Amino acid sequence: MSVSVKIFTETSRWVRVWVERKTEPPQPMRNFLLRGPAGTGKTEGAKAIASALHLPYRCITCSANTEVFDLLGQILPDVDGKRTRLQRQYPSFQEIQLDPSGAYQKLTGNYDEEISAEDTYQKLIDTIFDEMHSYYKEHTSGQNFQYVDTPLVEAIRYGYILEIQEPTVIANPGVLVGLNSLLDRCNSVYLPNGETIHRHPDTTIVITTNNDYAGCKQMNQSVISRMNLVIDLDEPDEDTQVERAMAVTGCKDAKTVRLMTRIVKSMAVYCRENLITDGCCGMRELISWVQSYMVCGDIREAARYTVLASASADAENRTEVEESCLDTVLAA
């Protein structure tokens, strides 16, 4: 059974049980947390939930600099609106040269047979300057602003599936905690524009997070306590990794893919034991390595620009990994 199928089976089974119950409990399960190493199919699990509930899927990927307004939206100057209001039909330079009287009439509303192209062009400049000056004088103190929605707000309004990826990398631990009201029974949140929105009954929030990336922090307990279902995903076994890599890449050489899978596993163990934490070595790197191998036909050459390059940014570390893991297995 593939990783994505396993996740679908576990999550959709629980989702359907609670969604189909009409009376008890009064609120179905709508908050999920999927934890596990990179490449274990957490996002596929979120999409599986969306598929099980037949709802649109939305996603937000967090970073260290993610703030509350990145999740709830922000109020920005309405630059596009201002630009549109300043636009009008001015005569072109070609029109002024060919028909200065007609251009002057288009500009002022008055027809003057004696007007020259130079005078019409100067009138155009003066008109644009005066209109811009008047507009900005009128609107500088009353700048128009507009509220910009986010995928999270969209999901709350209309009842979509929302995946929040990697919240444990956020530098400010209070950012995600600020969404606790959405995860609680009150199911409402205040937006920066002063609006209070209530969570649509179909809105489902799926938080996915890695536990093996450098820089990841512990999930706040107040957030975890509001999750209806927490699934810890283990790294897939060798057979599953081989099956998945071959399915994604289309490679038919099972023997070579299995060899590469074992090398990637040994590299991950070596990096962990030797505190090499500035890279990653997992399922995604295996898939990239197999794809590169299918192009160049050389395992070592393909590894140099994929799995080895991802293992560490330090050249000495990469050499150590290559000698200890890649060379050892290939020489056997």
- What does the pLDDT look like over 168-191, one tens digit per residue? 888 877 777 777 877 876 678 877
| DSSP 8-state code for residue 322 | I
pLDDT for res 255: 92
10-24, 54-68, 275-289, 310-324, range with the lowest pLDDT: 10-24
Reduce the DSSP state of residue 60 to 3 states and report it.
strand
Of these ranges, 73-77, 178-182, 211-215, the one predicted with the greatest mean pLDDT is 178-182
Contact (CB, 8 A) for 258 and 238: yes
Give the Cα separation of 102 and 94 in Å (integer): 12
How large is the greatest C-alpha to C-alpha distance in the chain, in angstroms? Answer: 96
pLDDT for res 137: 63
Give the Cα separation of 326 and 319 in Å (integer): 10
pLDDT for res 125: 72
How would you label 194-209 residue by residue, b for 16+ Cβ within 10 Å and e otherwise? eeeeebbebbbbbbbb
Place of tokens 């929605």: 149
Reported as type and span, the H/E element at residue 250 is none
Please say if the pLDDT value at position 210 is more than 70.
yes
